[in-house]
Chain A
């Protein structure tokens, strides 16, 4: 999906969180990859700091 026309491209989805949303999208024929998300060790604050250090 180019940033100029977000409404007209076929969706390809990364699902982060509740798995039910990935399964529903699959059932609709949408390409989807589900992320088996786990909370970062040390909590959100430490993870944000590490992400900044990584330049992510």
Chain B
């Protein structure tokens, strides 16, 4: 084995391009592993952790591309590096053929599109403030997809935006819909009469998808980023977004979706919500709002909103089909011993949070950190969190990190139940089910070979309009033995029932 490294100076590439390049390099003959990363400190650590550190990579800076290849011999490594050169050469030719000579700055882009009214920003976190502030100064609203943005930058951006009544959606805003156009990771949903404000990206995707399944659509959905309702940011954009939807003639019912706001911010929101003349469904997962129609899950948020829009009765249910859920529980083989613990491996942060809230009353405290993952206990990881996404694409774009962790779970005797999500939509990976299903099949086979069983429970966030084909993705998961439920809440409750017999009595009325 030999390791070769190369640095291309001042050659910034986004994480999607680097993910594709690394995948191509790994396919080259004789290549055992390959990395293509910008030279940030975090990426230098990743290279070192992978055992790919080389002296020639040491001086690489954040704007320099690092290539590292471990191959069977010198020639194979050299050919992989040549393949990287061809990769970028082909991309350049493709762009030239398509006539896509892109401007290099916001100012020159504005000369090309003088009527621009929105900037979508997904540059690395430390660079967000400069780009977003530039856009706001030109009177554009901004949608900031990037995470790893310093908190003080967010406060400054939102303060400036609010002073001009401009929307600053994000940082860390995964999804929004404005006038029927989806931004970021967006499921294909019809336009309709439900307006959303979301400090929770996959939470919004889940609610929008449930609404579509129930035959309702979105007027506008304004993402504000996961930290908007924290004490320091103070809910600045949430308040503006609620105000806009309250006066929007297309919006009949408003849904607010978030993780628990800071108590002082929740109190302020209660005042704002109680002054709104339209019905407001409040889904602040884990908080107890005093105003509006409070619901406990994302699925319930959609159900309550539809009922309010239609003036029909509604009540929350643990399972949409409890008979089928009981039948599933009793059909699971009891012969093989199963580990005692649950492991949740999520790509959607809100979904991970919702699962933990639903499971803890039945299973006790659930850890959310990967540190000390070797220690036994229930655990739910959000693989889209900042700590997992430095220098790599979000797990909804690149399913490989989650797949690797699913495979590891198959080796662990303490893990008996695996809980997963699968999120579809525009800009998401074109076929995320395949990677997850392959990993689950492998993990279940590993467990079976060791005389154990591993039960995998999950749900899919998606609509029939999504490019990935919702039914086909679900079928791929089911063919790998994953028990797929209509919502994350139902999947979580079923997982609780598997781990804790008492939970199955409470949730399913089951005997065991």
**A residues neighboring B (CB under 8 Å):** 1, 3-4, 6-22, 24-25, 27-28, 30-41, 43-44, 47-48, 51, 56
Indicate if the CB atoms of B181 and A30 lie closer than 8 Å: yes
Indicate if the CB atoms of A7 and B179 lie closer than 8 Å: yes
Residues of chain B within 8 A (CB-CB) of A14 are 106, 109-110, 113, 116, 118-120, 135, 140
Nearest residue (CB) in A for B397 is A20
Q: A12 contacts which of B103, B107, B118 (Cβ < 8 Å)?
A: B118
With A14-B110, A16-B131, A34-B102 given, is the CB distance from A39 to B116 under 8 Å?
no
- B182 interface residue (CB < 8 Å to A): yes
Residues of chain B within 8 A (CB-CB) of A37 are 12, 104, 123, 131
Indicate if the CB atoms of B244 and A35 lie closer than 8 Å: no
Question: Which stretch in B159-167, B306-314, B319-327, B470-478 binds the other chain?
Answer: B159-167
With A24-B426, A35-B109, A39-B124 given, is the CB distance from A17 to B14 under 8 Å?
yes
> Once bound together, how far apart are the Cα atoms of A36 and B108, in whole Å?
11
Residues of chain B within 8 A (CB-CB) of A15 are 119-120, 122
Q: Please list 11 pairs of residues, one from A and one from B, whose beta carbons are closer than 8 Å in the complex, sorted by A's number.
A: A3-B139, A6-B244, A13-B119, A14-B113, A20-B16, A21-B122, A32-B113, A34-B100, A37-B131, A39-B123, A51-B130
With A6-B244, A11-B181, A25-B181 given, is the CB distance from A16 to B122 under 8 Å?
yes
Residues of chain A within 8 A (CB-CB) of B126 are 43-44
> Once bound together, how far apart are the Cα atoms of A39 and B125, in whole Å?
11
Nearest residue (CB) in A for B161 is A3
Indicate if the CB atoms of A44 and B14 lie closer than 8 Å: no
Residues of chain A within 8 A (CB-CB) of B100 are 34
Classify chain B: how many residues form its interface, as a range: 35 or more
Least CB distance, B59 to chain A, in whole angstroms? 15
Indicate if the CB atoms of A8 and B179 lie closer than 8 Å: yes
Residues of chain B within 8 A (CB-CB) of A39 are 12, 62-63, 123-124, 127
Residues of chain A within 8 A (CB-CB) of B248 are 7-8
> Once bound together, how far apart are the Cα atoms of A3 and B292, in whole Å?
28
- B146 interface residue (CB < 8 Å to A): yes
Least CB distance, B173 to chain A, in whole angstroms? 12
> Once bound together, how far apart are the Cα atoms of A40 and B105, in whole Å?
11
Indicate if the CB atoms of B244 and A12 lie closer than 8 Å: no
Indicate if the CB atoms of A33 and B113 lie closer than 8 Å: yes
Q: B15 contacts which of A3, A18, A56 (Cβ < 8 Å)?
A: A18
> Once bound together, how far apart are the Cα atoms of A56 and B414, in whole Å?
57
Nearest residue (CB) in A for B103 is A35
Indicate if the CB atoms of B178 and A11 lie closer than 8 Å: yes
Q: Which of B120, B126, B134, B184 has the most chain A CB within a 10 Å cutoff?
A: B120
Residues of chain A within 8 A (CB-CB) of B167 are 6
> Once bound together, how far apart are the Cα atoms of A19 and B182, in whole Å?
15
Q: Which of A14, A24, A28 has the most chain B CB within a 10 Å cutoff?
A: A14
> Once bound together, how far apart are the Cα atoms of A30 and B181, in whole Å?
8
With A19-B16, A43-B62 given, is the CB distance from A36 to B103 under 8 Å?
yes
- B112 interface residue (CB < 8 Å to A): yes
Residues of chain B within 8 A (CB-CB) of A17 are 14, 120-123, 145-146
Least CB distance, A22 to chain B, in whole angstroms? 8
> Once bound together, how far apart are the Cα atoms of A45 and B220, in whole Å?
36
Least CB distance, B143 to chain A, in whole angstroms? 9
> Once bound together, how far apart are the Cα atoms of A17 and B124, in whole Å?
8
Least CB distance, B164 to chain A, in whole angstroms? 6
Indicate if the CB atoms of A33 and B116 lie closer than 8 Å: yes
- B115 interface residue (CB < 8 Å to A): yes
Q: A11-B118, A24-B427 are in contact. List 10 more A-B contacts (CB 8 A).
A: A3-B139, A8-B179, A9-B179, A11-B178, A11-B179, A16-B131, A24-B182, A28-B181, A35-B109, A41-B10
Indicate if the CB atoms of A28 and B182 lie closer than 8 Å: yes
Indicate if the CB atoms of A48 and B130 lie closer than 8 Å: yes
- B117 interface residue (CB < 8 Å to A): yes
Indicate if the CB atoms of A7 and B165 lie closer than 8 Å: no
Which residues between 183 and 238 of chain B lie within 8 Å of chain A, taking CB atoms? Answer: 183-184, 186, 219-220
> Once bound together, how far apart are the Cα atoms of A3 and B243, in whole Å?
13
- B328 interface residue (CB < 8 Å to A): no
With A7-B220, A39-B127, A44-B127 given, is the CB distance from A13 to B116 under 8 Å?
yes
Least CB distance, B395 to chain A, in whole angstroms? 15
Residues of chain B within 8 A (CB-CB) of A48 are 129-130
Indicate if the CB atoms of A56 and B137 lie closer than 8 Å: yes
Least CB distance, B142 to chain A, in whole angstroms? 9
With A17-B14, A28-B181 given, is the CB distance from A1 to B130 under 8 Å?
no
Residues of chain A within 8 A (CB-CB) of B219 are 7
Residues of chain A within 8 A (CB-CB) of B127 are 39-40, 44, 47
- B407 interface residue (CB < 8 Å to A): no
Which 10 residue pairs are nearest across A and B when measured between Cβ atoms? A17-B122, A1-B117, A36-B102, A18-B122, A39-B63, A33-B113, A44-B126, A17-B123, A33-B109, A12-B116
